[in-house]
Chains A and B, each alone.
Chain A
Amino acid sequence: EIVMTQSPATLSVSPGERATLSCRASQSVSSNLAWYQQKPGQAPRLLIYGASTRATGIPARFSGSGSGTEFTLTISSLQSEDFAVYHCQQYHNWPQTFGQGTKVEIK
């Protein structure tokens, strides 16, 4: 099973600042990686798939990069609605696995 490790666990950022979230895979997942945003009491929402392709309706301030074992989600200028938990998911090997999440909180 591929283990996905996200860092940091919590990221404190001021509105308007840049946020950089990391996701590391225990073995290569190529570009078969997705990012989800989850707000309190809500279901996850797809942000990025294929490591760097934004899902429909996702603002351009969200960008994904990386391949192999190292991935990054960048939020260029944090808006109030972006404070949430972010999860990465690999879909390269069965079983598909998620990271433990990074909480982005207001500084």
Chain B
Amino acid sequence: QITLKESGPTLVKPTQTLTLTCTFSGFSLGDTGVGVGWIRQPPGKALEWLTLIYWDDDKRYSPSLESRLTLTKDTSKNQVVLSMTNMDPVDTGTYYCAHFVTMTILGEGYFDPWGQGTLVTVSS
């Protein structure tokens, strides 16, 4: 059974850097074809894909946020760490990590399952 859980601060100040950790079990990021992605959802709004890391350490970033995002993995700890710089109130929302299943030759796919999410509020 695959499970994921996000952890990190619930409140950050504008301009600060947000660091979130995704701790997972039931799979290894050392296994071929595996990935972990991050998706966020502002309150009452749509889901927005942020970033993705593959088993081979290849990464994908949302073009609109790429300059602010850093993604790393620790295979031995079964963790993925997301950093987002220069936080702004518009970044307030629930941040999810999810197990990624590759479906296309370009490395795209779907997310299953998802972590429970963590609500991050950006406010001074």
Give A contacts to B, CB under 8 Å. 1, 32, 34, 36, 42-46, 49-50, 55, 87, 89, 91-101
Contacts and interface: CB of A to CB of B under 8 A. Distances in A.
A98 B46 contact: yes
Interface residues of B, number: 25
B108 A49 contact: no
A100 B41 CA distance: 10
B111 interface: yes
B47 A98 contact: yes
Interface of B: 39, 45-49, 60, 62-63, 96, 98, 101, 103-104, 106, 108-117
A49 B103 contact: yes
Nearest to B101: A49
A42 B115 CA distance: 9
Contact of A32 (B98, B104, B116, B117): B104
A91 B47 contact: no
6 contacts: A42-B116, A46-B112, A49-B103, A89-B110, A92-B104, A94-B108
Contacts of B39: 98
Nearest to B114: A43
Nearest to A96: B49
Contacts of A55: 112
Contact of A44 (B45, B47, B62, B108): B47
